[in-house]
A and B are shown apart, each in its own frame.
Chain A
């Protein structure tokens, strides 16, 4: 990496690391250190081919998503994150009930597999269409759809309090609507 490349790399990190870190931490189930590690590794990869990358952000994000899925077996099996206690109930009961649900949801998200969590982050945090998620993860649209479906179902199992909520779009599709899962060589 020459001095010029290093400078443009530094500039990219200064401008984009905040947004990228958010994604990395969410992919890591809320674990800041794991998220920083994930982002650091993705940036190291990017630095190694800085001259050849046209769109650094797209590249780094793709590495983040795929890397996280690749290491889920290692990092997340049986691991649980402690979740902060819900805040004291204030005057607005509705608001505090919603806050409590979000805390429950955090705990449940942290206990998904990395693959399940990655699909949810891409769909619901990055707001990407299924086809785009499929392209990024290198799988079929059918796989994205069925993974999202199973992930939401798993969240309900992990946090029974969520069962009172209405079904999501991904859960309302009739099962015959699922595209066949591609077999990748």
Chain B
């Protein structure tokens, strides 16, 4: 590289008689720059005046062959300094505002003069010089300005209030000039140098100031002043060998909705967010600084007060939590809600005795894990943001519990809770928390809504919520009444199911709350009522139970008699209320139980996408190419900049079939990956495919080497260092690959869909859209976007399950998860006729991007085929453009598209072979039934009788082979039957001894 030269450039360096200024001037001049050496010749504190300092530097420059002129004006007369340059060389290109003095003193002792003088020299001086030069620079379309700030200004420093003020003032000054000068190529930067000079002698010990030579700073100044430098608006700390750039960092902060007062308490409550630097931005200009605010202007607060911030709390989703229960938990719960008071009653034993012939969960148990989840979260201090009240304020007002199917006798659960509603009831507020609980397979098992009344937390003028009285007890004699005495110790038993509030057990505690003795849990009464309804209207079979909704209106004391009055309201609903007999008080009102007409069935078990053991399980699809694999490596190296220093070797990869060479440099700089190259400390020869497998974690480099598939030359030991490849996170790798592909790197972009879309897949997407519309919570739950790229015919579809309520749109070119498959396979998948997992293992479905997100597509399995048929029929009835007439009805069309069968040709060829090879039958000696699937056909190969024969259909056989059309074709191409059997592609029934002899298909195609 050639030296950075300043020939024909004219610079002013203020305060150049000593220290930093002198060093800058000498350096610039040594590189051909003409320098105005300005120095007033005063002391470090601004006293005195002499021409000696400037003259001396000018002499030095001249002695070295450079050009310089001295100027003795104060920077406050900046125009004179500039004039010197203009007079001498008729131009001004560079201004280095360096002059400065100190008046250090504690603020307590600081005089107005100390303040004023510092301001005048540093700020006003820099202003004056720069102002005088500015117009000339704009006119010339060229200028370089450097301001000298200080760490004291950036960070503050004891005794330098005046100096710090001035120095940071220059930063703001420079930042604005950088913007105003940009168009005219006038670039302005600021340095905060640390160097041993007259100004630091006062703050630093001599041995340090000696080491901090001004020369260690000037290199940066010269660079910033060079015509090749485009840096502007920068702030640098420099000195003692350090060169570093500073920038502003801002927390993501807290954005309050506008439209209502923001109180100091709210600011305090959000302090954690406001000061949390784990999520940050780095605004570089006013626009970026204002960005979040501009976005906030349109928002409108929904209200709230110091207890509840509706904007923050409403819609908040708690992190999912897990729990489990087993038979013992169910039995304990049932005992807690009064089951089994008569231990010989089978209808009660079914809830408490795990070996009872029909041991079943009492469905109201579904509230227990949900409530436990809320308690657990509260215990850990995890409350919803914006809810700032304690348990002492809340009352459980209403409860809704729904089970989607009979509860299993044990389950592992995942709970997802959300603040669903917040109502302002005047004095109090009502907060409704919705908790959705799924089982181990991710199928929803039950759902709870807890309505809590928060005393004294209302009154912000918000929505009061629905006020209609639901489930009012009819004005007629109940259709059924159950009366049951609650045992004195009932609360002691119930609390063991998880609600351990001392109010229900501790007499002293209850007294403090104004109760004569501990009260029964409202949810215990809730359980009693559930039993009563099931007993009266579900023939003691809890499996028909669907849901229960209650309002808790009064406390119940253990020992009282509960009377549940029930009224049928239609076929599937029972309205009820509970009273305490002794006090004739309604304790549960506005209550109803819904029953299912038929017992809901458990959904089919889902298969896990990947088994747990072994790295091979996580085989990513959408096989990256070697170019992509190197991009992955490059990305990894960039993210681990220390690697190069640690490894210190270069690697040359020579791939074959197709051939390419790649250099991975882990020696120089931060490391790099480049295509091509012909040397490296360590050279690796292997096939393109093995390399890709290695990076994908599917092939072990060690194993490739022992198998001689990988040859290592040069520094063999260095190859060990490549073990870092194993550390590459497959997810990250997939991301890089997906990014490349989306950018048009690897795979061609999907063709835009035809306006009308392909009928079958268009309809299938309509079915998905319909399903999403009916399950508005899905998007919130799944939180991913999916891009489907279908082939033959080609189309692209985006299924957004991330934003809003979710949407399905034709077209699109990105998604969190990208799925490539054929139109036909897609239709079969939606119709429930093809298993995505199977398509994937058969490589008919490729998944890119967030591979794990593809699991979320399991919801496709939940689509009711009946509903799907309805949507399709409706579309066709309405003559929707996506469904031209004559495409048939129902799902027949969906599977109607099948690839041509390969079996017929193979059968034909086999028949010929048997005819031409008379010995074949003798050799095998068996009748083989072949059942082909996808598309289906079957044929019998008789290799036992006579010369042998082939006939289509089924018949008596010694051995049966069941395989797909594709597998049959693979055998015909010469692949080994044994391998396909081992892989599970062929099922062998009957006399398996025949199987090894069955090379009859080999080479038929």
Does chain A bind chain B? no
Q: Which of A's residues lie within 8 Å of B, judged by CB?
A: none
Q: Which of B's residues lie within 8 Å of A, judged by CB?
A: none
